Structure 1
């Protein structure tokens, strides 16, 4: 009966070469990612620097107006659904209330 060997197989040169290739590729990817991050940072700084305070304020006000319009639309949708299904809305509100009370007590 032959004795089984518990020795691990020695890695071949091909395995070392593949491992080295993979390590080199990973290092290159890390360098590329770092370079991309620097490029994006520079782009962002240029973009912010090119906008005046008035332009920034104007775009913020525009975004706020869009958010208000969207919230108004959602509010009208909710009012319409509550009007169409008052009992279902009441049960949903009660269920959410019980759930909130349960979570607050924990």
Structure 2
């Protein structure tokens, strides 16, 4: 091989090394960009989940409050009816007990 051929070969090797280094830097930049994008996506998903969980909790608390109030109201109505008609309430309770006993004996 001549000196010119060796110099040309070294230049090609240097050019190839420079191209590879440029590609490596480009890949690193792309990897960093993807990491940034994925981190932003994870943060967005986490924030969305937190917002939805908070909204569901608020809604659940509202439903629980309504049910609790309605249950208290029904309990008060039942107590009032029992006070007004104690014998009728006793008869209904005895009938329900009798039916429950019949149903459990047949099984």
TM, length-normalised to structure 1: 0.52
**Corresponding position of 1:95:** 95
**Radius of gyration: which is bigger?**
2
* Match runs of 1:21-100 below 5 Å: 52-100=52-100
- The ranges of structure 1 where at least 4 consecutive aligned residues each deviate by more than 3 angstroms after the TM superposition are none
SS of corresponding position for 1:52: helix
Q: Deviations over 1:65-101 (max 9, x none)?
A: 1000000000000000000000000000000000000
| Equivalent residue number for residue 33 of structure 2 | none
1:52 is displaced (CA, Å) by 1.7
Aligned length: 59
- Give deviations 1:9-42, integer Å, cap 9, x for gaps: xxxxxxxxxxxxxxxxxxxxxxxxxxxxxxxxxx
Q: Comparing both structures, which one devotes a greater share of its residues to helix?
A: 2
TM-score (norm 2): 0.51
CA distance in 1, matches of 2:103, 2:69: 32
Q: CA RMSD in A?
A: 2.0
Q: Helix, strand or coil: the match of 2:87?
A: helix
